[in-house]
Structure 1
Amino acid sequence: MSNHIIVTTGIYDAIKDTLRRKKVSIEEEKRLTEELRKAKQVLRRDLPADIVTVDRKVTLKDHTLDFEHEYIFVPSTKQKLKKNKHSILSDIALAVVGYKVGDVIDWPFRDGERKIEILKVETWEG
């Protein structure tokens, strides 16, 4: 697993803002703060194609709940859950943003710790 996440400056700032506004649990806040401290910030054009970020279609396997699901991560203003478009600042997105295909993340969700694996990341243009 990657020991640091790779994010664009825009995503980095959005996560920082989410933390400032206390939109996450204490455990998530600790984890995200730690990840941001070690995060590598890059320009959008320099972000590798297999990294989870905004405007990507991502297939995840939840090993804890034993299911696979595909998510489309979009800017918060474009979230439409009925169309499977999830905000990049949603709980599931915050857990995997900045990680790459093949990474397995143990994440402290509000309903308990879950192990999430990133199976596939594709560019998505809505």
Structure 2
Amino acid sequence: MSKPFISLCPEITRTHALTLMDWLEDEGVTRYLSDSRHVSRFIEQVIGRVQLPILTHLFNQGGRFFMAYDRHDVPVGFVRLVKSGSDCEMVLVIGDRNNWGRKLGASAIREGMKLAFFDMRAEKLIAKIHADNARSLTAFLHSGFVLESETPTLKAFSIHSERYLRLLRESTADGSSGIYITEIDKARLGQLLALEQGPQIVDLEHEVERAIVVDPRRVARDVVTMNSRAVLHLDDERMEVDLVYPQDADGSTEKLSVCSGVGTAILGYKEGDAIDWRVSDRTRRIQIDKVLYQPEAAGDFHL
């Protein structure tokens, strides 16, 4: 069975706004959403007043708004992140009730945490949940949040950046779902991350932080390390690529920058692994068929 998958996308279209209105008319969806009436009224006013196909700038007033997509690129909910000082608050809704119980909320929480801590550089992430919303309470607790305060109707949970990073590293420590990166590659990528910015750098930083760090001489021969050459399947398209640093990429699919969507996705995975990853405006299935060349296996430790 496939693991739950959610990607968060910042672009909000008029069609998305209409979908949001449909969700917010469902009492089951809005039952525990404290500001549902305000949000619904705002969306209705936007649709009536603004005749634009893209409404992202309006939805990002006072915070950042993301549509949550499943692996089939179908919108199933939304996440809103509001930064106040060093703290950030998350509001999460799975609007399509047909997807309740599929653990998509937990997946959306993980994606929201990644954005809050790596992109928005929050020190603490907060979630305020109705005391009767058992499904959300469980999802946030299982994601590492701890109870901070409570009233008879509302529970406030939080997670600090230090705890988030520790849990992120521990989650792959057993090797069952982890990726591998050599000590040399991690040091070089750390220098790169200190200089670069952008959404794809957020994903790369997340992958580097969660990776299991290994001695270059002990990394398995079938792992995709930096400057490796591998055969991939991108959905049904076969590709043969070199995973390189940005300065070595030439814009072709043969030399793939580690800062690109597919480049970040394959770093640290091994032959036979398959990854769902959002590339540009859609989710792609990336299969690593064969590692043709790995610098460490060839003894080329200078690369």
Counterpart among 36, 39, 43 of residue 215 in structure 2: 43
Partner of 1:8: 182
- CA drift of 1:18 comes to 3.4
User: Of residues 192, 198, 203 in structure 2, which corresponds to 1:23?
Assistant: 198
1:54 matched to 2:226: yes
Q: Name the TM-score, length of structure 1 as normaliser.
A: 0.75
**Runs of 5+ unmatched residues, structure 2:** 1-175, 296-302
Structure 1 residues 83 and 4, CA, compared in 2 at 3 Å: closer, same or farther?
closer
> Structure 1: any 5+ residue segments left out of the alignment?
none
Structure ranking higher in strand proportion = 1
Q: Which residue of structure 1 lines up, in the alignment, with residue 268 of structure 2? A: 98
- 1:111 is the counterpart of 2:281: yes
Provide the aligned C-alpha RMSD in A: 3.0
Once the two structures are overlaid, the 10-residue window that deviates more, 102-111 or 84-93, is 84-93
Structure with more relative contact order (C-alpha pairs < 8 Å, separation 6 or more): 1
Aligned equivalents of 2:203, 2:251: Cα separation in 1:
27
CA–CA separation in structure 2 for the residues paired with 1:20 and 1:83: 24
Greater Rg by CA: 2
CA distance in 2, matches of 1:71, 1:31: 18
**Higher alpha-carbon deviation: 83-92 or 54-63:** 83-92
Structure with higher helix content: 2
Q: Compared with structure 1, are the counterparts of its residues 103 and 75 closer, same or farther at alpha carbon in structure 2 (3 Å cutoff)?
A: same
Q: Identical aligned pairs, as a percentage?
A: 27
Q: SS of the counterpart of 1:11?
A: helix
SS at structure 1 position matched to 2:199: coil
The one-letter code sitting in structure 1 at the alignment partner of 2:202 is E
Cα contact 1:62–1:116 (8 A) shared by 2: yes
- Residue 198 of structure 2: SS of its match in structure 1? coil
Aligned equivalent of 1:123, options 289, 293, 299: 293
Question: Contact 2:224–2:230 at 8 Å: present in 1 too?
Answer: yes
The normalised TM-score by structure 2 is 0.35
CA shift, 1:29, in A, is 3.1
8 Å Cα contact 1:18/1:24 also seen in 2? no
Counting matched residue pairs gives 121
Is the contact between residue 227 and residue 243 of structure 2 (CA under 8 Å) also seen in structure 1? yes
Q: CA deviation at 1:114?
A: 1.0
Query: Does the residue aligned with 2:193 lie in a helix, a strand or coil?
Result: helix
